[in-house]
Amino acid sequence: MAIKPVGHRVLVRPETIEEHDDVYKAARKVGIEIVEQDRRKQETAIDRGIVLAIGDTAFKDFGGDPWCQVGDVIAYARFGGKFIKDPDDEEENKYLILNDEDIIAVVTKGKTQ
């Protein structure tokens, strides 16, 4: 991948609508297709993804340790960031560049303490 976040930014691969919404996934299985414009609106409503890379100065303004690491599933501000394409794969906008402050939670399975 040829994308490297700079400064206080974080590179995320957002979940797809199929990963996020069981109803949408079931509709696709039975052959119901959602128009691309409506699909894009649905995907921008997704607010979870996997951290792929972290910029050099991310989280430094807040002091202490970073609150997420590469590989973490995170929740982010719903309409935060900018969708970008990987220059090596022009298929679609698969990645999101977020400001570090737009990350609002690390999502884990199991009980919280």
Task: Tally helices (H) and strands (E) across the chain.
Answer: 3, 6
| pLDDT at 35 (0 to 100) | 64
- Model confidence, pTM: 0.73
Give the H/E segment covering residue 111. none
Residue 51 has pLDDT above 90, yes or no: yes
**Distance (Å, rounded) from C-alpha 72 to C-alpha 49?**
8
Which fold, 9-14+47-107? Answer: 10 Kd Chaperonin, Protein Cpn10; Chain O (2.30.33)
Tokens of 87: 């220059």
Stretch 25-40: mean pLDDT, rounded? Answer: 69
Q: Which residues contact 2 (CB under 8 A, 6 or more apart)?
A: 86, 87, 88
Domain residue extents for the chain: 9-14+47-107
| pLDDT at 99 (0 to 100) | 93
